[in-house]
């Protein structure tokens, strides 16, 4: 089994760019797809990135995903930050047939 580690919180100003990391503890980050979910307070999660770098329809291209084998991590980058981007973000991957979630990152846009 492996773990996914995210920073507890990040903050940035409107209009800027922020990157949230998700580091896999063992095994290759490239061996299973990584998804990213956004969860605003009091709401259900929504998918912002799937299969490492794919955006569902309706998700703005300000959101992008990538993986880096050298650091064994995935990243979610949000550019042109808006106040509405303030939320919790979770990365998720697979361990055999089990889902593994990161602990979540609280993004503050101030």
Partner 1 sequence: EVQLVESGGGLVQPGGSLRLSCAASGFTVSSNYMSWVRQAPGKGLEWVSVIYSGGSTYYADSVKGRFTISRHNSKNTLYLQMNSLRAEDTAVYYCARVYGATDWGQGTLVTVSS
> Which residues of this chain interact with partner 1, rule CB under 8 A?
35, 37, 39, 44-47, 50-51, 54, 56, 88, 90, 92, 96-104
Comparing CB distances to partner 1, the nearer of 1 and 70 is 1
Comparing CB distances to partner 1, the nearer of 26 and 57 is 57
| Residue 16: how many other CB atoms lie within 10 Å | 12
Tell me how far apart the alpha carbons of residues 99 and 83 are, in angstroms, rounded to a whole number. 30
Least distance to partner 1, CB of residue 58, Å:
10
Nearest CA to 2 among 90, 78, 85, 73?
73
Least distance to partner 1, CB of residue 56, Å:
4
CA distances from 69 to 8, 72, 109 (A): 22, 5, 29
Least distance to partner 1, CB of residue 110, Å:
22
Least distance to partner 1, CB of residue 54, Å:
7
Tell me how far apart the alpha carbons of residues 2 and 24 are, in angstroms, rounded to a whole number. 7
Let me know: does 71 contact 88? Beta carbons within 8 Å: no
Comparing CB distances to partner 1, the nearer of 4 and 29 is 4
Comparing CB distances to partner 1, the nearer of 6 and 75 is 6
């Amino acid at each position: 089994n492996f773990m996914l580690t995210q920073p507890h919180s990040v903050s940035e100003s409107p209009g800027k760019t922020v990157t949230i990391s998700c580091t896999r503890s063992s095994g290759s980050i490239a061996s299973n797809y990584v998804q990213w979910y956004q969860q605003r307070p009091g709401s259900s999660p929504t998918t912002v990135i799937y299969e490492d770098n794919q955006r569902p329809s309706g998700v703005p291209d300000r959101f992008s995903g990538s993986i880096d084998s050298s650091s064994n991590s995935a990243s979610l980058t949000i550019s042109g930050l808006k106040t509405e981007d303030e939320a919790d973000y979770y990365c998720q991957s697979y361990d055999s047939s089990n889902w593994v979630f990161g602990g979540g990152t609280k993004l503050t846009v101030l």
